[in-house]
Chains A and B, each alone.
Chain A
Amino acid sequence: MAHALRSDDRVLLFGEDVAFGGVFRCSMNLASEFGEARVFNTPLSEQGIVGFAIGAAVEGMRPIAEIQFADYVFPAFDQIVNEAAKIRYRAGSNAGMDCGGMVIRMPAGGVGHGALYHSQSPESLFTHVPGMRVVIPRSPAQAKGLLLASIESPDPVIFMEPKILYRAAVEHVPSEAYTLPLSKAEILKEGKDVTIISYGTPLYTCQSAITAAEKDLKCSIELIDLRTIYPWDRETISKSVNKTGRAIVVHESMVNAGVGAEVAATIQDKCFLRLEAPVQRVAGWSTHPGLGYERFNIPDVTRIYDSIKSVLDY
């Protein structure tokens, strides 16, 4: 974010408690470096934060709005779905009256003890909304490149940051500015028997399950990070499944009408003749994230391993 603020006067950063550095320390020292006019606290009102960001964006700024937890984005649902997503479309040929350059950042996903309102991953609610881009990075280097690309994007972006990885994932991140392409999946590991499609935190769980399964079951598994959840890279996924013939989609949020449903339906449409087993979805159960039950709810290594085994045995 420092790069964005430094390189473009139009970039603003605001939300609840961002001025002192943010409750997850994402905006440490930015207010002192760039001034309180560009990095500032807002009143505690999510619909206000997103509405304010839209207004700033339609008048040429590039606002980065923070929602403290993805669980609290719902008061701003109307502003995102009815306003941000539709502004360019309804303006028609009134070019430039859109809210491109707006990014709504929010920490998302399970954190071990977040219970009902500090654990949610509401991405699929936004993948049903044409006009918005939904991006979820898996690591620090990805987060930087995808966030800078989101700020540059001519379309509004919802940027969900897996909060369990804030302190867990450490890797080399180039200090200079760079971008990673949106709507482009990344093949993390090539394979020929099964394709696993996931994003965010579960990619690490998938890697452990793949290591165990390849050793035990003598198979070769391809792992793909979707990175952008919508509009998503359908081509990379269908190409992979047309090669392997088997697909598993893994995500934390509940299975019902989740991202997995869209991916699975597209796979059956584009890879029907090559499929050797039904597409599996390994995801949160259709329940709420109760405090004491998280390890039974979020897909773990065992469930992914078992899914690999069942598609191979089918």
Chain B
Amino acid sequence: MPTFRVLDQEGKLVDKNREEPDISDEEVLRLYKDMVSVSIMDLIMFDAQRQGRISFYMVSAGEEGIAVGSASSLNPRDPIFAQYRETGIFQYRGFTLDDFMAQLFATKDDTGKARNMPVHYGSKKFNVHTISSPLATQIPHASGAAYAMKMQNRQNPTEDPRVVACYFGEGAASEGDFHAALNIAATRGCPVLFICRNNGYAISTPTLEQYRGDGIASRGVGYGIDTVRVDGNDILAVREVTKKARDLALKDGGRPVLIEAMSYRVSHHSTSDDSFAYRAKVEVEDWKRRDNPITRLRKWMEGKGLWNEEKEKELRSDLRKQILTAYRKAEKEKKPALSGLMSNVYAEPTEEQIEQMAALRKVIQKYPNEYDVSEFDGGLDGLTFDKK
């Protein structure tokens, strides 16, 4: 399947005869700043993990364009289900640096109440469901949520119709849940965008060991799903494809669309991975030099006279300062109240849980030197279920 491109690697229009991309200068600058912000935060937080300041991290290097570009073509009310390498979505939807840091440092301001590993963001405010580690489980959720959208679009015809967007890597697409989700989305006509980030590797496994068909895109056809392959390093192409796919998904009462965005995982899989154990450093350096969504958009902006070296320097130093300020603030924050250990398992605590919380309190009181509760909001007093 051919790959759709708007810009070439030099940031020039691939098709000189086509119109200029339909995007305002203001929006281009926003997309660019969001990508750069994610990439700088990634560098700082990767190092923070290396210094033991946070327990884990995963960068988006090389894939910032897929997340930011596609998010920019969605309605902010469209629910999103993500895998974990889509930090740019949260950035575009409005996550502040403080929001990111609260989750990464698991502070009292983390909406996930310090229960999830770093990078497992989630936000009711921005309509992004909380990320979970099991791969591909979110794909059938997206089909079901899209069916809910279809019913709600029908029940509230005066409101803007909504679609669901679902992100996953090419490795996750080998899970049974991928098959289940695409098939049910097709048979039930669900308005959902399945967005696959094909970055060439699932941890150490190259795509040659992941599948033998024509990538993920070729599978869409078999499910009866309209499918497109796009250059994931070309944010303007990702943006355009997502916009068209969204319109298509809402046609005739709803249908799924599959987008395969081709890219390259420039970074290690995570902070627990050294990717040079299974791929040559020269291959990575080559990709970094040759192509990257940030430099490609920058070249295009420079060609239009929107950007220059001075602005670049200023943006980078400015973002770096802001990120470090948020970092230092979060580092000093208290952890959430100890109630977070057992609350929210059920809507109301069970009798068994109430008994267990009292038992834990007794143990902590009996052996105070074994448990440091001072770093938790409210100390031992926080170990209680909320009073209704």
Contacts and interface: CB of A to CB of B under 8 A. Distances in A.
Interface of A: 9, 12, 37, 40, 42-43, 45, 47-61, 63, 75, 78-79, 82-83, 86-98, 100, 130-131, 133, 154-155, 183, 231, 234-235
Contacts, number: 166
A59 B149 CA distance: 8
B169 interface: no
Contacts of A37: 151, 154
A94 B141 contact: no
A102 B290 CA distance: 49
B113 A59 contact: no
A230 B370 CA distance: 33
Interface of B: 79, 81, 110-113, 115-116, 120, 122-125, 129-130, 132, 134, 137, 139-149, 151-152, 154-155, 164, 176-177, 179-181, 183-184, 187-188, 340, 344-348, 350-352
Given A231-B350, A231-B351, A48 B122 contact: no
Contacts of A183: 350
B132 A42 contact: no
A19 to B, nearest CB: 12
Contact of A48 (B148, B184, B340): B184
A51 B180 CA distance: 9
Contact of B145 (A59, A75, A235): A59
A54 B141 contact: yes
Contact of B144 (A43, A63, A75, A235): A63
A34 to B, nearest CB: 12
A91 B155 CA distance: 27
A79 B137 contact: yes
A102 B203 CA distance: 34
Contacts of A92: 110-113, 115, 122, 130, 340, 344
B184 A56 contact: no
Given A52-B184, A75-B176, A91 B122 contact: yes
A85 B124 CA distance: 18
Nearest to A96: B124
Given A96-B124, A183-B350, A130 B345 contact: yes
15 contacts: A47-B176, A48-B179, A48-B183, A48-B184, A51-B140, A52-B144, A52-B180, A55-B142, A55-B144, A55-B147, A60-B148, A90-B115, A90-B130, A94-B130, A131-B346
Please list the 9 inter-chain residue pairs (A to B) with the smallest Cβ-Cβ separation, ordered nearest first. Answer: A51-B140, A55-B144, A48-B180, A55-B141, A92-B113, A154-B347, A52-B144, A59-B148, A94-B124
Nearest to A99: B141
Contacts of A40: 188
Contact of B111 (A47, A56, A57, A94): A94
A235 to B, nearest CB: 7
Contacts of B116: 90
B377 to A, nearest CB: 13
A53 B130 contact: no
A231 B347 CA distance: 12
A60 B122 CA distance: 17
A12 to B, nearest CB: 8
A231 B346 CA distance: 10
Contacts of A98: 347
A12 B190 CA distance: 15
A229 B155 CA distance: 37
Contacts of A47: 140, 176-177, 180
Given A43-B183, A56-B145, A92-B111, A86 B152 contact: no
Given A54-B141, A78-B137, A234-B352, A93 B113 contact: yes
Nearest to B155: A9
